[in-house]
Amino acid sequence: MQNYIPIQSGKKKIFEIPDEDISKYKLIGSAGGYSIGFCLYLGWKHSKNFLERVCGYHIDEHGIGEMMSEAAKQVGLPKDKQGYITVSFYEEKFIN
């Protein structure tokens, strides 16, 4: 079963996109944070018509989340405050 996140009070679902399908979609943007929900908020806050455009997400092993985790380690934050992730959000790719 495919993972999804309900948005817009459950009216819409965005699905997790597997590695092999990434090229089928157009990147809207990526966000780093402590949870998928926080990254979703950043997407909504900084991308025009985000909720209407987004159809999928992908959790990346590298990126801003990894840099944030490394910075948290360097400043001595406890281990439970070091787990940041990078989430990339995608929309349908339309070919003209």
| pLDDT tens-digit readout, 13-28 | 999 999 999 999 999 9
What is the reported pLDDT for 1? 47
pLDDT, tens digit, for every residue of 55-90?
999 988 777 777 777 777 788 776 666 677 889 999
Average pLDDT over residues 36-56: 93
- The reported pLDDT for the residue numbered 96 is 57
Q: With 60 as the cut, is the pLDDT of residue 38 above it?
A: yes
11: left (phi over 0), alpha (psi -120 to 50) or beta: alpha
Query: Strand (E) positions, the chain?
Result: 4-7, 12-16, 25-33, 54-60, 85-92
